[in-house]
Amino acid sequence: MKVTDVEMVMSAVDPKQYPTTGHPEIGFLGRSNVGKSSLTNVLMNRKDYAHTSGQPGKTQTLNFYEINHSMYFVDVPGYGYAKVSKTEREKWATMIETYLTQRKTLRGVINLIDGRHEPSDYDFQMRDWLDYYHIPVLYVATKVDKLAKSKIPHQQQMLRRELELDEDEPLVMFSAKTKIGQDQIEAWIEQQAH
Ligand code: GDP
């Protein structure tokens, strides 16, 4: 799936604001700074189309991008961002949970984790949570250009083991700099959204 056309269609907080065209959707989840904008910009072949990341206090919304007039990429704001109040965090959690559980056109979620480190508590929580809702997930480990090439397979195995991923749960090692992993991510999206 190559992206040839992108339109930012809307920002939504409430299900009433979600687009109603019925296109299949892929959600992108990841904590602030994990590399979500960089990944979506690579996939959308844009320099700075998506930039949602983390000014504290900024309203966090679901951002819908219409791709090739036939599907949506949905930028889901980071869950559990540290610098906001508990009330704000609870509001986000509700927004995200509502989206993930009620959106019928959601075909899968790309869950970003930092590829340089061991999984964080946040990553474990997200994995448990996505498992619980039985949403198809592609794990994407970001920033792997920061690893020595020879270390990448080992790091991938470690992440799979730590996250206790099953055979049928893919994890792609990705870099927005070298574009390693891009083809696998595009193939997965195509598979989910066809
Ligand atoms: P977001 O907050 O998740 O949208 O993260 P961004 O895409 O804005 O990236 C956060 C920081 O990580 C920025 O300084 C990026 O330049 C850097 N970054 C993102 N992806 C990569 C990558 O693949 N390799 C490297 N080396 N840096 C990256």
pLDDT at 9: 85
Of 52, 49, 53, which is closest to residue 11 (Cα–Cα)? 52
Q: How would residue 99 be classed by pLDDT, with cut points 50, 70 and 90?
A: very high
**Residue 2 pLDDT exceeds 60:** yes
Give mean pLDDT, residues 32-47.
89
- Spell out where 13-105 has E strands: 25-29, 62-67, 71-76
| Angstrom distance (rounded) from CA 103 to CA 17 | 12
Ligand 1: nearest atom to the Cα of 51: 4
pLDDT at 194: 84
| Angstrom distance (rounded) from CA 13 to CA 7 | 19
pTM greater than 0.90: yes
Cβ of 142 closer than 6 Å to ligand 1, yes or no, is yes
Superfamily of the domain at 6-193:
P-loop containing nucleotide triphosphate hydrolases (3.40.50.300)
pLDDT at 80: 56
Cβ of 178 closer than 6 Å to ligand 1, yes or no, is no
Residue the block writes with tokens 């109040």: 85
Ligand 1: nearest atom to the Cα of 40: 7
**Residue 70 pLDDT exceeds 90:** yes
Percent of the chain with pLDDT over 90: 65
Cβ of 32 closer than 6 Å to ligand 1, yes or no, is yes
Q: In what order do the strands lie in the sheet with 6-12?
A: 6-12, 62-67, 71-76, 25-29, 106-114, 137-142, 171-173
**Residue 59 pLDDT exceeds 80:** no
Q: Measured in angstroms, how far is the CA atom of residue 16 from the centroid of ligand 1?
A: 32
Ligand 1: nearest atom to the Cα of 175: 23
3 neighbors 69 (Cβ within 8 angstroms): no
Percent of the chain with pLDDT over 70: 91
**Residue 81 pLDDT exceeds 80:** no
**Residue 79 pLDDT exceeds 70:** no
| Angstrom distance (rounded) from CA 179 to CA 194 | 23
Q: Bridge-partner residues for 12, per DSSP? A: 62
Residue 124, φ and ψ in degrees, nearest 5: -65, -40
Any idea where the domains of the chain sit in the sequence? 6-193
- Per-residue pLDDT tens over the stretch 119-139: 999 899 889 989 988 899 999
Taking CA atoms only, the protein residue closest to ligand 1 atom 19 is: 35
Residue the block writes with tokens 């270390």: 151
Q: How would residue 57 be classed by pLDDT, with cut points 50, 70 and 90?
A: very low
